[in-house]
Amino acid sequence: MKETFEKDGSGFTVFMGLDAAPSYLVTYGFFATYGLPEIIVFGDKFMLDTLLRLYNEMIDALENLISFRDDQHWPMKCDGHHVVGRFVEASNVTADRFGDAQFCHQLAGISKPIPAYQLFWPDENGRFPWERGCSEVCRSLQPLLSNRLYEVPTRRHSLRSRLEAIIETFRVRGPRR
């Protein structure tokens, strides 16, 4: 990670969730190099292809971006619905999720707090985790870091909840080719 930051100025890290914990992709160096918020997007461990696609499409979208806003619709889509972004509450920009970004921040000698921004994908009905009627799987895979001191809820470990997560992942990611 340090070599990538020193060579390219930024990059990303993917963390694969264990058991019921969500996986996520998080950037580093965006703030230190470009003055942009670090970006995080969550999903299931089977959604790696989707997370990488969203990252690549987000990089393209940043070329035309004027500013970041809460509830901003991005051009990237999941299952025909736009991805939406929200700022991360400062108390949730912690070393366990943004450690690489914090390391780059220190390397660059920056003392200001790191801003962060979370991208969300909707459930099969186009609802986001903060909306009434959003599926439990969609909510459990995407913690609302825009809320103060958010704690990731534990998901049920039942076969039914695991199958629901696989179905949701297949819907968002699509079939493998």
Looking at residue 130, its pLDDT comes to 94
* Structural domain boundaries enclosing 31: 2-173
Lowest mean pLDDT among 60-69, 103-112, 165-174: 165-174
Looking at residue 174, its pLDDT comes to 54
Q: pTM here?
A: 0.80
- Continuous H helices in the chain: 2-8, 48-62, 95-107, 136-141, 159-173
Residue 168 has pLDDT above 80, yes or no: no
The pLDDT tens digits of the residues spanning 117-164 come to 999 999 999 999 999 999 999 999 999 999 764 444 444 444 455 555
Looking at residue 153, its pLDDT comes to 44
Count of the separate structural domains present in the chain = 1
Report residue 43: phi and psi, to 5°.
Answer: -175, -170
- Cα separation, 54 vs 146, whole angstroms: 20
